[in-house]
């Protein structure tokens, strides 16, 4: 892609290539991937992939692995529905009739290419995050909401107002059975 002649160790492996070596150098591949992850679709693919992982460390909840029960297309459709209701604002707030009180969501990938794998805190606080309404239930379309990373992290120190918002969303999804 860059048009430079480079040694073979500057290129990654690619099983589908006849030579077994990627056609683009690692630096160009990294730039291309970062550009894609900063698109809406690319960012959502990374989030969905993150939810699909079932490693025992990060996604274990009370001695069981948390699983994701929807395809990327279903996940993308749920996000589109969220955008139709909330725009690029968090679902965490008093409701769609008071959107001015909801915080803006961004979708900016920052990092050197491994930030998604490491989970080293390089994520932007205002970035889109997927939260489970009930932490005892796996990722299902009914159990997810689209909020900001900082809102998802502060759940451990939830205020009374936060709890009221959470209960309202829970009632909509599990009592009135209104899926996203």
Domain ranges of the chain: 24-175
- In this prediction, residue 152 has a pLDDT band, given cuts at 50, 70 and 90, of confident
- In this prediction, residue 26 has a pLDDT band, given cuts at 50, 70 and 90, of very high
For all residues of the chain together, what is the average pLDDT? Answer: 83
* 47 in Cβ contact with 82 (< 8 Å): no
The beta strands (E) that lie in the chain are given as 11-13, 21-25, 60-61, 64-65, 128-132, 144-148
Q: CA-CA distance, 40 to 109, in Å (whole number)? A: 10
Candidates 76, 91, 24; CA nearest to 46 is 76
Q: CA-CA distance, 164 to 180, in Å (whole number)? A: 19
Query: Per the structure block, which two tokens stand in for 28?
Result: 């160009």
Flag whether pLDDT at 84 surpasses 90.
Answer: yes
Q: CA-CA distance, 43 to 144, in Å (whole number)? A: 17
* 148 in Cβ contact with 125 (< 8 Å): yes
* 82 in Cβ contact with 141 (< 8 Å): no
pLDDT in tens, 85-131: 999 999 988 888 889 999 999 988 776 544 444 445 566 889 999 98
């Amino acid at each position: 892609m860059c048009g430079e002649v480079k040694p073979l160790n500057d290129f990654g492996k690619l099983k589908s290539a006849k030579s077994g070596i990627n056609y683009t150098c690692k630096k160009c591949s990294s730039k291309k991937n970062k550009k894609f992850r900063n698109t809406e679709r690319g960012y959502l693919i990374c989030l969905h992939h993150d939810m699909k992982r079932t490693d025992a460390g990060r996604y274990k909840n009370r001695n069981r692995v948390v699983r994701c029960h929807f395809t990327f297309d279903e996940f993308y459709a749920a996000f589109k529905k969220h955008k139709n209701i909330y725009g690029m604002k968090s679902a965490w707030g008093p409701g769609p009739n008071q959107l001015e009180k909801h915080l803006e969501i961004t979708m900016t990938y920052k990092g050197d290419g491994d930030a998604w794998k490491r989970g080293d805190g390089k994520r932007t606080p205002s970035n889109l995050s997927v939260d489970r309404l009930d932490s005892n239930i796996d990722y299902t379309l009914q159990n997810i909401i689209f909020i900001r990373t900082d809102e998802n992290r502060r759940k451990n120190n939830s205020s009374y107002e936060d709890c009221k918002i959470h209960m309202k969303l829970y009632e909509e999804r599990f009592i009135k059975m209104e899926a996203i």
